[in-house]
Structure 1
Amino acid sequence: MLFFLAADLIAAENEERCLRLACFSEKYSVGAPGEPLSLVSASRYKFWGFSVYSVALYQPDGLIKDWEEHPLAFVLHYHRTLKPEDFLKTSRKLMAKNPEYANRNDESSLLKFSSFIQEVKDGDRYTLLYSPEGTLKLIFQGQVLGEVRDKVFARAYLGMWLGKFPVKEDNRDCLLSGQFEG
């Protein structure tokens, strides 16, 4: 009996939810003591009709509206090749729309974070781990590449998807309302 119970627990930990082009595990362990984060939503981002990436949002205890106040994991599964300079160019453009960040006149956190970014190809995954204290950690294919400790930067960077000035409002609304689209 115990054998079957253990097998059921392993299966439950490996459950996934799938969008059209990517599957995401139901739980995300951040590698630190505490509860694993739960998959709460996912969406596929398209540009000019082409799929660029699918993204999944993980939070503790299900969907939380005030995402800035809680730890989260943000997993991006890419469907296209993108170069590091593409990330920096797009980040600058999108973060400039956010008055809280744009008025700082300090790009040091963005430049440091961008220095961790590598080229991605179809099937590659980045994970952004956010803490409400202001740490944003970048993970590529399961390997930690670096982190930046800057609360305003961390919120503005994730704000490109979840904030008031997102890359696409439809994707943001999907992610913050617990939907799975794409």
Structure 2
Amino acid sequence: MLLGSAHAQSNTVASPNASFSRPEVAALGGVVPTAPVRLRVWGFEVYDARLWTPRGFRHSQAMQHPFALELQYLRKLEGSAIASRSIEEMRRLGSFSEAQAQSWLTALRELFPNVGQGERITGINVPGVGAEFWVNGQRAGVVKDETFARLFFGIWLDERTSEPKMRAQLLQGLQP
């Protein structure tokens, strides 16, 4: 599950300016991570989300900026379940054809492995291209579709997200 009926809470383990070594964000140059925000679903801790943004990032124009969204999992989840839940959440934010849904689902199932505690999946927004995905610091692949990228990152950043508290915490301190 990426998102569900859950309670998101800020996790203050690391400060937003902590130094991290993440090859997936190195190419973005000068990005700064937000404080991690924990997703809990029915009392179960699922993952900590962290947004990596460049200076001048405006969340109202997020898709015009390169940025990264990192999910560090706190429990075992099947990659196919993560992919399916992603498509479900994307449907809440916009309409797309069944052919698009199947294409995106196939791509995500290939990109997202089964994960365990401490493992990371990071999505990078590549303006004008789509979304690039990394798993535990290793490049997994790209979905070259701007509509996909907008809807995928919208799971966390769109005002219509199913997790408005998580969104507010991820965007806290960033320019509108």
After TM superposition, the score normalised by the length of structure 1 is 0.76
User: 1:50 and 2:13 equivalent?
Assistant: no
8 Å CA contact 1:57, 1:75 repeated in 2: yes
| Distance across 2 between alignment mates of 1:92 and 1:155 | 12
- Letter of the 2:55 counterpart: D
- Letter of the 2:158 counterpart: G
Match of residue 163 from structure 1? 158
8 Å CA contact 1:78, 1:124 repeated in 2: yes
CA pair 20-51 structure 1, distance change in 2 beyond 3 A: farther
1:129 to 112, 124, 128: 124
- Letter of the 1:175 counterpart: L
- Letter of the 2:92 counterpart: K
8 Å CA contact 1:137, 1:148 repeated in 2: yes
Match of residue 76 from structure 2? 81
2:138 to 125, 139, 143: 143
Percent sequence identity is 27
Match of residue 7 from structure 2? none
Give SS of 2:34's match.
Answer: strand
Q: Please list every run of 5 or more consecutive structure 1 residues that lacks an aligned counterpart in the other structure.
A: 1-17
CA pair 144-69 structure 1, distance change in 2 beyond 3 A: same
**Count of matched residue pairs:** 159
CA pair 19-169 structure 1, distance change in 2 beyond 3 A: same
8 Å CA contact 2:83, 2:108 repeated in 1: no
Structure of greater Rg: 1
Structure 1 stretches (4+) deviating beyond 6 angstroms?
A: 21-24
Match of residue 5 from structure 1? none
Aligned-residue RMSD, C-alpha: 2.5
CA pair 167-82 structure 1, distance change in 2 beyond 3 A: farther
